[in-house]
Amino acid sequence: MMSPASSLLVEVLATPGRVRFLDLPGWERLLRQANSANVGAILVYLLEDNGLLNDVPLKPREHLEAARIVALRHRRLAGYEVGRIRSDLAGLGLPLILLKGAAYAMADLPSGRGRLFSDIDILVPKDSLDQVERALMVHGWASTHHDAYDERYYRTWMHELPPMVHLRRGNAIDVHHAILPETAPVRPDPALLLAAAREIPGEQGALGIYTLCPHDMFLHSAVHLFFGGEFDQGLRDLFDLHRLALHFGTEPGFWDGLVARADALELTRPLFYALRYITRTFGTPVPAATLAAAAPFGPPHVLLPLMDALFLRALSPLHPECATRFDGIARFTLYVRGNWLRMPPVLLARHLFHKAFLSPRTAEAA
């Protein structure tokens, strides 16, 4: 079976004790691969949690500590920004539901430690989208997409508003009303997600900030990676799933109910892929019963070797050392597939045509 384990970084993420055998050139290679994959700070916490940090030689240790400093600053800024968003939306009486990176960070989940993210994703009920957008605009957030096609793309077909950026602070927010586009063939019911959301316990009582429930957090991470079409951070995203599984796997009922929840949300296929590739890549301890329950939801047998080949290439670190000739094709194929899964064929053809030929010209003209 092919695996992305041909790279040192993947070996270390799967088996952190591997670093005990590294010489200095090995450390240099590991740090370079980690930086390319945007997991430099994730690495420092992984080594710390495994009691390995104190044995790291002086020079690589300095770089790991530098990555920690960047991550801590990121965490401070994210906390501040979430606080601002909460007060910007306070008048609406809605729970503030965070998704992905911001959720992991604010809930202090292990999967949030050292993880950098570029925007804050929130989930709101579809019928409150207008109010939310207005409230954000009043507080200095502005849409970044002014092109008429992009406006239509987001507002008619997508599951989110066009990304908004704060005019003074420059941070970005994505306002979602669902986790898959309106045009996708499967439509996880947002009402189910909203109803199951969990409040983050604060030190001085509740803060009114929520995350999805553990099942939904795991499934959202899976659908984002395997239906999304963008694999720039593929390895990092796969490692998110691994860390979520390790953390929530100890909660009673997590593994037992996962497949049923995926079924209710129509997300059994991404769940299948997530479990397949975390276990193969990182050796995540997923109970045999859960794997067996997810097994029927894979792609047709003839397709599976192809999907393995594509995903395992796309999930390798982007570092040039780990690259092969096949990478570009794998990533492009998955990009088209990601869009295929989000739009019916005619609309997709139109979208790709527009992105390839019309958007660049509009950008040049602007």
By the criterion CB under 8 A, which residues form the site for other proteins?
24-25, 27-28, 32, 35-36, 57, 59-60, 62-63, 65-66, 69-70, 72-73, 76, 318-320, 323
CB of 44 to other proteins, least distance (A): 12
- The DSSP string of 118-167 is SEEEEE--GGGHHHHHHHHHHTTEEES--SHHHHHIIIIISSBPPPEEET
Phi, psi of 122 (to 5 degrees): -125, 155
Please, which residue, 116 or 197, has the CB nearer to other proteins? 116
For residue 343 the two structure tokens come to 């739009």
CB of 319 to other proteins, least distance (A): 6
Please, which residue, 70 or 358, has the CB nearer to other proteins? 70
Please, which residue, 13 or 275, has the CB nearer to other proteins? 13
CB of 35 to other proteins, least distance (A): 6
Question: Can you list the pairs that 74-82 forms with residues at least 24 positions away whose Cβ atoms lie under 8 Å?
Answer: 74/116, 74/117, 75/105, 75/112, 77/171, 78/102, 78/105, 78/106, 78/117, 78/120, 79/105, 79/106, 81/120, 81/166, 81/169, 81/171, 82/106, 82/120, 82/209
User: Alpha-carbon torsion 125, 130, 134, 137, what sign?
Assistant: positive
For residue 246 the two structure tokens come to 């390790």
CB of 60 to other proteins, least distance (A): 7
Please, which residue, 56 or 262, has the CB nearer to other proteins? 56
CA angle 66/71/76 to nearest 5° reads 130
CB of 55 to other proteins, least distance (A): 16
CB of 41 to other proteins, least distance (A): 11
The structure tokens 């996880």 sit at 188
Contact assessment for residue 174 and residue 120, using Cβ atoms and an 8 Å cutoff: yes
CB of 66 to other proteins, least distance (A): 4
